[in-house]
Chains A and B, each alone.
Chain A
Amino acid sequence: GAVVSQHPSWVICKSGTSVKIECRSLDFQATTMFWYRQFPKQSLMLMATSNEGSKATYEQGVEKDKFLINHASLTLSTLTVTSAHPEDSSFYICSASYRRGTYNEQFFGPGTRLTVL
């Protein structure tokens, strides 16, 4: 249980184009999903918190207009990188909160490697 998928697993795009990444909780409903980015050999940096049916909450320094997040249902959140540039190349990982007993735990997707040429 508590499986999270991401699609695509990797994507290469030209500078200036937009890229959409999907995050799905496969066997549970997630009221809250999170988006992270990770540079090579570095830690995960939280970009935003996504709640179903409401606007995402972005971390300080993350451009809302560049990284559009939509959480349309309890099992799907999407991240769109708009007008992507080479510096946006990174590993993007989503996670979803899963209720276990009295606490929520985060389960992560396999990640999406974005390369912007």
Chain B
Amino acid sequence: QQQVKQSPQSLIVQKGGISIINCAYENTAFDYFPWYQQFPGKGPALLIAIRPDVSEKKEGRFTISFNKSAKQFSLHIMDSQPGDSATYFCAASPYNTDKLIFGTGTRLQVFP
């Protein structure tokens, strides 16, 4: 069964802190793992993505950690800012398709 589990459902972080969101998948037939950021009333925006041939990818304050054996991947937001307050979705794409299976989402609130 193709499913992506995401936690926590909501997260409150103080400005300057680290936000960590975790995702786990059951099916090994995924080869692309993106993270999306969505503000209320807007479409999701691609934040950062990783392929299973690397264990970590960093872009600015955003880092994806990928553990292939555990079938888990996580998003770390360093130096969290109030402007980062949004809903974050992880996703996974099955091999040889462009389809995305989305996680349930995490609502992040960063307080000054």
> Which A-chain residue is minimally distant from B4 (CB atoms)?
A43
- Bound-state CA distance A108–B90 (Å) is 14
Asked if residues A43 and B103 are in contact (CB atoms below 8 Å), the reply is yes
Which residue among B46, B49, B51, B107 has the maximum number of chain A CB atoms within 10 Å of its CB? B46
| B52-99 with Cβ < 8 A to chain A | 89, 98-99
Nearest first, the 5 A-B pairs at minimum CB distance are A108-B43, A97-B98, A111-B43, A110-B43, A43-B102
State the interface size on chain B (CB cutoff 8 A): 21
Tell whether, in the assembled complex, residue B98 and residue A44 are in contact, meaning their CB atoms are under 8 Å apart.
no
Given the known interface contacts A43-B104, A46-B100, A105-B34, the answer about A113 and B43 at a Cβ–Cβ threshold of 8 Å is no
Question: Inside 8 A of B32's CB, which chain A residues have their CB?
Answer: 103
**B residues apposed to A, CB below 8 Å:** 32, 34, 36, 41-46, 49, 51, 89, 98-105, 107
Majority SS of interface residues in chain A? Answer: strand
Chain A residue total in the interface (Cβ 8 A)? 24
- Chain A residues, Cβ within 8 Å of B89: 43-44
CA distance A110 to B42 in the complex (A): 5
